[in-house]
Amino acid sequence: MHAASWAAAYAPRFPADFAQEGIADRRTRWHPRIAAGEGIIMLGSLDDRPLAMSWSVPSESRTGLAEIYSFYTHPNGWGSGVSAALMHATLRQLKASGYEQVHLWTLRDTPQSRRFYLKCGFTETGATQIRDFGDNNLLPQVEYERST
């Protein structure tokens, strides 16, 4: 689901060869993370089909906060409610894990993602950063946060 979501939402922003490498990498990068128990990985399903995933870790930049580092929904799940249900479950799990606040970064030029986070109760902090996905194409990100 990560690869399909990234292919639909982000791959068009990159050269074709780099985008294909990114899609392939996203098909296998979760195996070692799951095996290592890194962070909190959660799935959202619809009709017994996993369509959304979240990965939360302790924030490296904001002491005491959790960071939703990855939140992706397969395009077949867009508009189905599975993303909202997963976000609700993710926030509930972060609270149970002792986090009172959570933040995340998303690309500035992704209005669908930004609307989703606002609907989920996140607010923009005003912070921005530049993200290089590895192709020297610097893309601006904006930060959102909320209570758990």
pLDDT above 90: residue 104: yes
pLDDT above 90: residue 135: no
Edge-to-edge order in the sheet of strand 66-73: 40-46, 49-58, 66-73, 101-107, 138-147, 123-132
Token pair 């799951």: residue: 34
Domain count, the chain: 1
Residues 136 and 101: beta-carbon distance below 8 Å: no
Contacts of 91 (CB under 8 A, 6+ apart): 102, 120, 146, 148
Poorest-pLDDT segment among 10-14, 86-90, 91-95, 123-127? 10-14
Q: Which amino acid is at 146?
A: R
- By percentage, how much of the chain surpasses pLDDT 90? 73
Average pLDDT, the chain: 94
Q: DSSP class of residue 110?
A: -
Reported as a pLDDT band with limits 50, 70 and 90, residue 76 is very high
User: Rounded mean pLDDT of 82-86?
Assistant: 97
Print the domain residue range for 117.
2-147
Residues 42 and 66: beta-carbon distance below 8 Å: no
Summarised one tens digit per residue, pLDDT across range 29-54 is: 888 989 999 899 999 999 999 999 99
Poorest-pLDDT segment among 10-24, 65-79, 118-132? 10-24
DSSP per residue over 67-109, as a string?
A: EEEEEEE-GGGTTSSHHHHHHHHHHHHHHHTT-SEEEEEEETT
CATH number of domain containing 45 = 3.40.630.30
pTM listed for this prediction: 0.91
